[in-house]
Amino acid sequence: MKDNKVLATVNDKPITQQDVDALLQSLGPQRAMQFYSEEGQKRLLDELIRQELIYSDAVDNGVESEEGFKKELAQMKANLLKQYAINKLVNSVKVTEEEVINYYNENKALFKKPESVRASHILVDDEGKAGEILEEINKGLTFEDAAKKYSKCPSGSKGGDLGEFTRGKMVPEFETVAFDMQKDEISQPVKTQFGYHLIKVVDKKEAGISTLDEIKDQLYQQVLAMKQNDIYMRKCDELKKTYEVKVNG
């Protein structure tokens, strides 16, 4: 398998592609971007080689027998045991569909959603050009084709589609017009700091309560977290009866 390909050895210890991939993943998406190239992969391999060299030297020089290392190892073991025991406790928790439904019905006020608009736009540099494009649309050119042909916004390649948004997500001039329009309506040119926009409202949704189906997965996670926290706190309260706790104030 590709992941098991041995890329280097240090003191007979193999370093595989899987080791390089694991290091890459540990960096997080933003830092990892600079290491996807062939040169980046080589840099990661070089780093793993350096780490193995330091490890071999530490073993040969008895670093693991030093008191400082033993203390750190004991602390790491204690932390790992704590986390393992917590995970073992909370992972036993299950959530039923009935519990999710009951939580939704009892807390509907928590699931309000604001009004939203789905809109497309065409962005150009001057008002005159925007007016000319609007004339073409009125004569039969579809808004989507006009966006692909004229818009300088990257959304133009998708027919100008900006997706669905709520208030506060767009610049005020754009937002005010979009939320005042009706579905399928096309605006006159709208000036913002980016240029002149023609806006088409594709869909509008009034403020309301999210349906159970819309947020079922989210609710499952919420109920699960609540039950996990509850069992964790109850377990700790029980343990206070077994183990002495002193708080120095």
What is the residue-level pLDDT of the chain in tens, covering all 249 positions? 455 889 999 989 999 999 999 998 898 888 888 888 889 999 999 999 999 999 999 999 999 999 999 999 999 999 999 999 999 999 999 999 999 999 999 999 899 999 999 999 999 999 999 999 999 999 999 999 999 999 999 999 999 999 999 999 999 999 999 999 999 999 999 999 999 999 999 999 999 999 999 999 999 999 999 999 999 999 999 999 999 999 997
Q: How far apart are CA 209 and CA 227, in angstroms?
A: 24
Strands of the chain, DSSP E: 6-10, 13-16, 112-113, 116-124, 161-166, 190-192, 195-205, 208-209
At 14 the three-state DSSP class reads strand
* Residue 67: predicted pLDDT: 96
Boundaries of every domain in the chain: 2-65, 66-111+211-249, 115-206
Token pair recorded at residue 207: 């403020």
* Residue 28: predicted pLDDT: 81
Q: Are strands 116-124 and 161-166 parallel, antiparallel or unpaired?
A: antiparallel
* Residue 249: predicted pLDDT: 77
Taken in order 229, 230, 231, 232, the sign of the CA dihedral is positive
Token pair recorded at residue 58: 């530490």
The length of the chain, given as a count of residues? 249
Q: Do domains 2-65 and 115-206 have the same CATH topology?
A: no
Q: Which of 239, 226, 195, 223 is nearest to 100 (CA)?
A: 223
Q: How far apart are CA 122 and CA 198, in angstroms?
A: 5
* Residue 1: predicted pLDDT: 46
| Contact status, residue 201 vs residue 184, Cβ threshold 8 Å | yes
CATH class of residue range 115-206: alpha beta
| Contact status, residue 110 vs residue 210, Cβ threshold 8 Å | no
pLDDT tens readout for residues 27-65: 888 888 888 888 999 999 999 999 999 999 999 999 999
Classify burial at 183, counting beta carbons within 10 Å of its beta carbon; exposed 0-12, middle 13-18, buried 19 or more.
exposed
If one looks up domain 2-65 in CATH, what number appears?
1.10.8
At 219 the three-state DSSP class reads helix
* Residue 33: predicted pLDDT: 83
Half-sphere exposure of 229 (CA within 13 A, CB side): 6
* Residue 2: predicted pLDDT: 55
